[in-house]
Amino acid sequence: MKGVVLAGGSGTRLKPLTELFNKHLLPVGRFPMIHYPLFKMKEAGIADVIVVTGPSAVGKFAEYLGSGARYGIRLAFCVQDEPGGIAQALASAEPFVAPEDRLLVLLGDNLFEDNLEPYVRSFAEGKNKAFVFLKKVRDPRRYGVPSFGADGRIAAVEEKPVRPRSDYGVTGIYLYDRSVFDVIRSIRPSERGELEITDVNNRYAERGELGHAFLRGWWTDAGTPESWLKANLRVMGKRR
């Protein structure tokens, strides 16, 4: 099992802070944001982690994180030349992934409480080719929203729906086998010109190969000023 942390993007919603820093280097509690997905990788038992980021940030990440030895992991860095969607960022990590590898993929601005180790172990031993984590959210219209079939499995995921079919959002926590790179090659850019991870997950859902679980603890993405503040309060033990 390898880990992939996606830490690129332009951080538009956090400007002007992100005109100075990649958002994953902004502080959350005592540490830069990038610290937390790496901690979750180690907690899940994953030792080899690839950090995908943009060309202007890769040097800063390498300077701060080094080889990963002080965190008890081994790090590699991969450059996404231009922002082109989550799926495109994931695709750039393909050269680092062996044929037998499975992947835990974390969006670097997703902070959460749950320990993923039991899910990682189960996925490594199971038959699902893809797996997503869901969280009940106040406004599902902001997220990819799953609908469920009669068998309880995810039938489809709709991105930012006007009329959500459930109260759950798909978080930025994913498990895939190596077939994900073939799936990414099979999709086309969306209307906004990006390769969407929702399209990838829908390919697996269509085949009945997409598993899911519900996060029990807190979760937030720290991509807006409000959610960044919430993340800081959470990791410092101050509920909001």
The helix (run of H) or strand (run of E) holding residue 168 is: strand 168-177
- pLDDT band for 103, please (50, 70, 90 cuts): very high
Given a cut of 60, is residue 219 above it in pLDDT? Answer: yes
Give the pLDDT confidence score for residue 108 in this predicted structure. Answer: 94
DSSP letters spanning 84-145: --HHHHHHTTGGG--TT-EEEEEETTEEE----HHHHHHHHHSS-SEEEEEEE-S-GGGSEE
pLDDT of 18-60, one tens digit each?
A: 677 778 888 888 899 899 999 999 999 999 999 999 898 899 9
CA separation for the pair 67, 100 (Å, rounded): 24
CB-CB contact of 109 with 222 (8 Å)? yes
Fold of 2-235: Spore Coat Polysaccharide Biosynthesis Protein SpsA; Chain A (3.90.550)
CA separation for the pair 120, 3 (Å, rounded): 11
Given a cut of 80, is residue 13 above it in pLDDT? Answer: no
Output DSSP code: residue 154: E
The predicted model scores a pTM of 0.94
With CA atoms as reference, report the closest residue to 183 among 110, 109, 104, 86: 86
- pLDDT band for 82, please (50, 70, 90 cuts): confident
pLDDT of 148-173, one tens digit each?
A: 999 999 999 999 999 999 999 999 99
Q: How far, in Å, are 47, 51, 65, 108, 183 from residue 11 at the CA level?
A: 28, 17, 20, 12, 27
